[in-house]
C-alpha cells in the first residue's frame, strides 16, 4: 500500500525503491520499508491507490498538475503492471498518465510529469495515484513526490 514517509532503498539488479526523495525527507511510496529482500514490501496481488484531499481549482488561468514519480520493476513484471495518475472531477475520473510495466528490468529513477488540467477550472478535484502488480507475482515499486497544481 502507499505510505508517506522516508523510504528505505532496495535493490534487485539495480535500484528498485529509491531511498532519496525529490522534496527532502518524505514521499509517497509503495511500502517504505526495505525488508530482508527487495520484494518484501513491494506491491503484491493487485492495485494500490492514494487519493488527495479535495483541491479547489481557480476558475481562470492555465492550470498544470506536476509531480515527480517512478515505477520500478523486475524482469518478472508484465504489461498488466502499471503506474497511473488520474484526476477525479465532477464528471468522473480521467487518466492523465499511465506507465505500463514490461517483462524487463526497470530501475527506479525520478522523472517529472506535467499535465494541463485547465479543463477542470472552477471545480473541486482530487488527484488519484495508482500502481499495480496486476498479473503474476513480480517485483513492482512506485513513488510519488512534490505534487503541485500551478496557475499561469
| pLDDT single digits (tens) 122-134 | 999 999 999 999 9
- CATH number of the domain to which 67 belongs: 2.60.120.200
Structure-block grid coordinates of residue 151: 496557475
Over residues 107-131, mean pLDDT:
98
Range in 29-33, 85-89, 94-98, 148-152 the model is least confident about: 29-33
Contact 86/94 with Cβ under 8 angstroms? yes
Contact 144/68 with Cβ under 8 angstroms? yes
Domain with 120 in it: 2-151
Over residues 50-55, mean pLDDT:
97
pLDDT over 90 (residue 95): yes
What 3-state DSSP class applies to 49?
strand
Residue 102: strand pairing partners: none
Domain count, the chain: 1
82 or 43, higher pLDDT? 82
Chain centroid to Cα 78, Å, comes to 17
Cα–Cα distance for residue pair 86/126, rounded to 1 Å: 8
Amino acid at each position: 500500500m502507499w505510505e508517506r514517509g522516508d523510504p528505505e532503498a532496495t535493490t534487485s539488479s539495480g535500484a528498485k525503491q529509491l531511498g532519496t526523495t525529490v522534496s527532502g525527507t518524505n514521499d509517497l511510496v509503495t511500502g517504505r520499508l526495505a525488508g530482508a529482500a527487495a520484494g518484501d514490501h513491494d506491491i503484491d496481488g493487485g492495485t494500490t491507490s492514494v487519493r488527495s484531499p479535495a483541491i479547489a481549482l481557480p476558475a481562470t488561468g492555465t492550470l498544470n498538475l506536476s509531480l515527480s514519480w517512478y515505477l520500478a520493476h523486475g524482469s518478472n513484471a508484465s504489461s498488466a503492471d502499471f503506474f497511473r495518475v488520474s484526476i477525479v472531477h465532477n464528471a468522473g475520473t480521467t487518466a492523465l498518465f499511465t506507465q505500463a510495466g514490461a517483462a524487463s528490468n526497470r530501475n527506479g529513477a525520478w522523472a517529472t510529469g506535467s499535465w494541463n488540467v485547465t479543463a477542470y477550472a472552477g471545480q473541486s478535484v482530487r488527484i488519484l495515484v495508482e500502481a499495480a502488480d496486476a498479473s503474476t507475482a513480480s517485483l513492482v515499486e512506485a513513488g510519488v513526490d512534490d505534487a503541485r497544481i500551478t496557475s499561469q
